[in-house]
Amino acid sequence: METEAIQPRNKIHPHKFTLWVGIGSIVMMFAGLTSAYIVKRNQAGWHTFELPIAFWYSTVVILLSSVTIHLSLKAFKERYMLKYRRLMLATLILGLLFVATQFIGFTEFWKTGMTLQANVAFSFLYVIVGLHGLHVIGGVLGLIIMLLKTFSTKKRNYSIVSVELMLTYWHFVDILWIYLLVFLIIIR
Amino acid sequence: MSTATLHETTHHDTHGDAHHDHHHQETFITKYVFSQDHKTIAKQFLVTGIIWAIIGGLFSVIFRLQLANPEATYPWLEDLLGHWAQGGKLQPEFYYALVTMHGTILVFFVLTAGLSGTFANFLIPLQIGARDMASPMLNMLSYWFFFLASVIMMSSLFVQTGPASGGWTIYPPLSALGDASSGSKIGMDLWLVSMAMFIVSSLLGGLNYISTILNMRTKGMSMTRMPLTIWALFFTAVLGVLSFPVLLSGAILLLFDRNLGTSFYLSDIVVAGKILPNEGGSAILFQHLFWFLGHPEVYIILLPAMGMSSEILSVNSRKPIFGYMAMVGSLFAITILAFLVWAHHMFVTGLNPFLGSVFVLLTLLIAVPSAIKVFNWLTTLWKGNIRFTPAMMFAIGFVSLFISGGLTGIFLGNSALDIHLHDTYFVIAHFHIVMGVASFFGMFAGVYHWYPKMFGRYLNNTLAYIHFWVTIVGAYLIFWPMHYEGLAGMPRRYYDFSNWESFKMFGSLNQFISIVAMIVFAVQILFVINFFYSIWKGRKVKDLNPWNANTLEWTTPLRPGHGNWPGDIPEVHRWPYDYSKDGKDFIAQDVPVGADESKH
């Protein structure tokens, strides 16, 4: 057997790698849904729609939250734990604000007669955007757990891995939202 | 040693110092129930899979009974099934439920969770030299989600209106409208919820398998030194992680259609004289989403069997595997092609014929990597010093079944022929041989081969040989005649063929198939008895490496604890197939390369 160089195995933390594969998996789910959407759009009986205004506020909010979580990682690295905690709290609030604006958007949409059952186009919008919302809520739960951890006096957890995992996931749901927004504007 | 340090850091948050824990106290609950040890989780998957296989197999015996004697009544059947077999005669609705559950159970619960769940969990850390999975916690959750899915699916067997009965592919509208049939009611809801849990379980498992293989290999275990089992399990996990989410998205839309009045799959439907308001949906959309998983799924079932058979064939031929890189390359090619052929299940849906011909081409391309694999298996056996252990018999049986079943795939992959053969017994024969029985053979081979490592005891050999011979002869006797029935146009999923003049002539053939099916089922029970009896009473393993194999799992103690190796993880110096080299019968992977050693 040839004596090739041994690959370094600790380049990336296994949990981070697992998250990336998981992200690939979530991407496949949304790829499935958006391609189903494209197929349906080319068939008869499709109604076009305007996205609710509130979704634009959602976009601003989630972009801001990506900035705050990024700064919180920086603070964590510099061991400014108070700053880190504040920025995490800010991210958490922005995350909740995102969910709220999404909800407002849905109600706005519903009130103009574009209900879940009215047309398959609207059904798709509720399902796709709603599923993304669930992923954000999952991230919010993660943020809450991490924030609670910073108050724990029993165990000083200075592992950066979980902070970085959270950061990656949060950026992912942000980018996913931008993709969905652009997708729903271009193809409707 | 760097490996040990890496391990310690990666495991720190979940399991403390895993490799010292031979000494640390484990309660019964953490050791056997909520265990995070990959070996225990593997056994949990295996035992749950065996229980499901008995149930799923029993279902096929019951519906074969109906096909053998459509007119006969069996009073004991009423005792067993109650109002589903009123007067001792199986009700048509329940026949469909049995067929549906047989497919669901065998495809998902046995040959996906039972096969991948068992051997990916058991073999990946042991063969790549890791103390456990990348995330033992997620791994444990993977089993318990599967357990939850099992409980829900099991409970659907006992509801008043019966389990799901629209076929294992749950096509709408039967699956989307509660009023469509008795199996479309609560049984269908439970099916969907159970499958959602099942998908979560396979995703958690798959994420772990991929991360572990790519990140946790011991020193010296480069990708090209991995056993083919690991390669196959790796590609299986990739397939699962990329295709199950698409089924999930299809299932979510189905849940909306069922419960919230949307029309993703429904349009212009009349049920019991009532016109439904649903408009604009398309049932074909579901088929696309389903088969985008459904086709990779057959490779999720098949690839682990391929990997284990490759390993077992090489070990028991005392020869290196022929064409290692070609084996890896063909696994890769199959993985890619698996995603590009789903519409060959849909040739008769009104698919555009041009698109159909593209799918024909892509489908037939799978013959190339498949033929490479078969060629390499046969050349591995060629002039080998073959030991006919039970595992080896099943591995050879796997190759035989893969060839016979694969050949009929060439017929079905042609859209022109498929229009005639679609939904006939020809299809049943094809996929049962190539995917069902072949994968079972791979699974049996794996169980017989790794049982000594799992339980520290041997299975009874006499029973094993009886198991092998009856099963392989039986499998061919059951499924070979179905090709003729299918060519004659006999459709699948029918409850009673005696009303058709053209199928009456198959009456006695159907009886024959049913009798053989029952014999084969009885022999599987013999295997199950052998399996459980040997856990406690089997001959004890005394030799650390009973098969004289090269891979790392045989360097662990007889009954490895959590952490697998009591000391350092062995370093790997060579590929796993140095058999009959330089006058030595075998050279294990952890033996350093000698100065005067020849290249393999």
Topology classification of domain A49-186: Four Helix Bundle (Hemerythrin (Met), subunit A) (1.20.120)
Q: How far is CA B112 from CA B100, B119, B142, B527, in A?
A: 16, 11, 13, 20
User: pLDDT class for B527, splitting at 50, 70, 90?
Assistant: very high
Nearest-neighbour CA in chain B from A126: distance (Å): 10
Cβ–Cβ below 8 Å for A117 and B289? no
Phi-psi region of B273 (alpha: psi -120 to 50; beta: other; left: phi over 0): left
Question: What dihedral angle (degrees, nearest 10) is formed by the CA atoms of A173, A179, A185, A186?
Answer: -170
Measured between beta carbons, which residues in chain B are less than 8 angstroms from residue A149?
none
Q: What residues pair up with B579 in beta bridges, in sequence order?
A: B586
- Any B CB within 8 A of A67 CB: no
Q: What is the 3-state secondary structure (H, E, C) of B432-466?
A: HHHHHHHHHHHHHHHHHHHHHHHHCECCCHHHHHH
End-to-end CA distance of chain A: 57
Alpha helices in A12-53 (DSSP H): 14-41
User: pLDDT class for B600, splitting at 50, 70, 90?
Assistant: low
Mean pLDDT of B525-546: 95
Q: How far apart are CA B252 and CA A36, in angstroms?
A: 12
Per-residue confidence (pLDDT) for residue B88, from 0 to 100: 87
Q: How far apart are CA B68 and CA B167, in angstroms?
A: 21
Question: What dihedral angle (degrees, nearest 10) is formed by the CA atoms of B377, B379, B385, B387?
Answer: 20
User: pLDDT class for B87, splitting at 50, 70, 90?
Assistant: confident
Q: How far apart are CA B441 and CA B233, in angstroms?
A: 16
Pairing of strands B584-586, B274-275: unpaired
List pLDDT tens digits, range B137-152: 999 999 999 999 999 9
User: Considering CB atoms only, which of B211, B248, B578 is closest to A14?
Assistant: B211
Cβ–Cβ below 8 Å for B292 and A32? yes
Asked if residue B136 has a cis previous peptide bond (ω within 30° of 0), the answer is no
As for the ipTM of the complex, it is: 0.88
Cβ–Cβ below 8 Å for A14 and B242? no
Mean pLDDT of B441-450: 97
Per-residue confidence (pLDDT) for residue A10, from 0 to 100: 55
Which residues of chain A are under the pLDDT cut of 70?
A: 1-10, 153-158
User: pLDDT class for B31, splitting at 50, 70, 90?
Assistant: confident
* Domain-embedded: residue B14: no
* Environment class of B25 (CB within 10 Å of its CB; exposed 0-12, middle 13-18, buried 19+): exposed
User: pLDDT class for B30, splitting at 50, 70, 90?
Assistant: confident
CA angle B479, B482, B484 (to 5 degrees): 135
Per-residue confidence (pLDDT) for residue A1, from 0 to 100: 36
In 3D, which of B368, B366, B362, B367 has the Cα closest to residue B341?
Answer: B362
Mean pLDDT of B123-148: 95
Mean pLDDT of B249-253: 93
Per-residue confidence (pLDDT) for residue B68, from 0 to 100: 93
In 3D, which of B558, B560, B565, B559 has the Cα closest to residue B590?
Answer: B565
Domain enclosing residue B548, as ranges: 36-586
Q: How far apart are CA B323 and CA B577, in angstroms?
A: 11
Q: How far apart are CA B457 and CA B461, in angstroms?
A: 12
Q: How far apart are CA B136 and CA B199, in angstroms?
A: 18
Phi, psi of A94 (to 5 degrees): -65, -35
- Any A CB within 8 A of B137 CB: no
Residue B520 has pLDDT above 70, yes or no: yes
Residue B546 has pLDDT above 70, yes or no: yes
Residue B598 has pLDDT above 80, yes or no: no
Look-up of token digits 């893969």: B402
Query: Chain B: residue nearest A33 by CA?
Result: B249
- Any A CB within 8 A of B138 CB: yes
Residue B393 has pLDDT above 60, yes or no: yes
**Mean per-residue pLDDT of chain B:** 91
Number of separate domains in chain B: 1
* H or E segment and range at residue A185: helix A161-186
> Does residue B236 or residue B9 have the better pLDDT?
B236
Per-residue confidence (pLDDT) for residue B278, from 0 to 100: 84
Measured between beta carbons, which residues in chain B are less than 8 angstroms from residue A43?
280, 282
Q: How far apart are CA B298 and CA B435, in angstroms?
A: 7
Q: How far apart are CA B522 and CA B477, in angstroms?
A: 15
* Domain-embedded: residue B21: no
* Domain-embedded: residue B24: no
Q: How far is CA B331 from CA A122, B235, B239, B302, in A?
A: 41, 7, 11, 11
CB-CB contact of A116 with A122 (8 Å) = yes
Per-residue confidence (pLDDT) for residue A157, from 0 to 100: 59
**Cβ-proximal residues to B567 (8 Å cutoff; 6+ apart), any chain:** none
Q: How many CB pairs under 8 A join A and B?
A: 134
Q: Is the CA virtual torsion A71, A77, A78, A79 positive or negative?
A: positive
3-class state of residue A54 by DSSP: helix
* Chain B residues 570-599 within an 8 A CB cutoff of chain A: 573-575, 578, 593, 599
Which of A23, A25, A34, A37 has the highest number of chain B CBs within 10 A, making it the mutation to test binding with B? A25
Per-residue confidence (pLDDT) for residue B592, from 0 to 100: 92
Measured between beta carbons, which residues in chain A are less than 8 angstroms from residue B242?
24-25, 28
Q: How far apart are CA A59 and CA B56, in angstroms?
A: 50
Per-residue confidence (pLDDT) for residue B22, from 0 to 100: 45
* Domain-embedded: residue B18: no
Per-residue confidence (pLDDT) for residue A4, from 0 to 100: 37
Residue B15 has pLDDT above 50, yes or no: no
- Any A CB within 8 A of B8 CB: no
Q: How far apart are CA B337 and CA B359, in angstroms?
A: 10
pTM for the whole structure: 0.91
Residue B58 has pLDDT above 80, yes or no: yes
Per-residue confidence (pLDDT) for residue B25, from 0 to 100: 62
- Any B CB within 8 A of A29 CB: yes
In 3D, which of B230, B60, B216, B244 has the Cα closest to residue B146?
Answer: B244
* Chain A residues 75-114 within an 8 A CB cutoff of chain B: none
* Domain-embedded: residue B17: no
User: Considering CB atoms only, which of A1, A18, A28 is closest to B593?
Assistant: A1
8-state DSSP, B424: B
Measured between beta carbons, which residues in chain B are less than 8 angstroms from residue A116?
256, 260-262
Pairing of strands B274-275, B579-581: unpaired
**Cβ-proximal residues to B183 (8 Å cutoff; 6+ apart), any chain:** B93, B96, B97, B100, B161, B162, B163, B164, B165, B166, B174
User: pLDDT class for B24, splitting at 50, 70, 90?
Assistant: low
Residue B349 has pLDDT above 80, yes or no: yes
* H or E segment and range at residue B585: strand B584-586
* Chain B residues 210-229 within an 8 A CB cutoff of chain A: 210-212, 214-217, 219-220, 222-225
Q: How far apart are CA B237 and CA B235, in angstroms?
A: 5
Q: Helix and strand tally (H, E) in chain B?
A: 19, 4
Q: How far apart are CA B239 and CA B222, in angstroms?
A: 22
b/e burial code for range B386-416 (CB count within 10 A of at least 16 → b): eeebbbbbbbbbbbbbbbbbbebbebbbbbe
CB atoms within 10 A of CB A50: 10
Cβ–Cβ below 8 Å for B222 and A4? yes
- Residue B252 token pair: 């979510």
- Any A CB within 8 A of B40 CB: no
* Environment class of B377 (CB within 10 Å of its CB; exposed 0-12, middle 13-18, buried 19+): buried
Look-up of token digits 């029973």: B463
3-class state of residue B491 by DSSP: strand
Q: What residues pair up with B94 in beta bridges, in sequence order?
A: none
Measured between beta carbons, which residues in chain A are less than 8 angstroms from residue B241?
21, 24-25, 28
Mean pLDDT of B345-371: 94
CB-CB contact of A35 with B249 (8 Å) = no
Task: Report the CATH number that the domain containing residue B545 is assigned in CATH.
Answer: 1.20.210.10
Mean pLDDT of B492-500: 90
**Cβ-proximal residues to A76 (8 Å cutoff; 6+ apart), any chain:** A84, A160, A163
Q: How far apart are CA B428 and CA B475, in angstroms?
A: 13
- Residue A143 token pair: 């943020």
List pLDDT tens digits, range B276-296: 888 888 899 999 999 998 999
Tell me the CB-side half-sphere exposure of residue B67, using CA atoms within 13 A.
29
Nearest-neighbour CA in chain B from A154: distance (Å): 15
CB-CB contact of B437 with B401 (8 Å) = yes
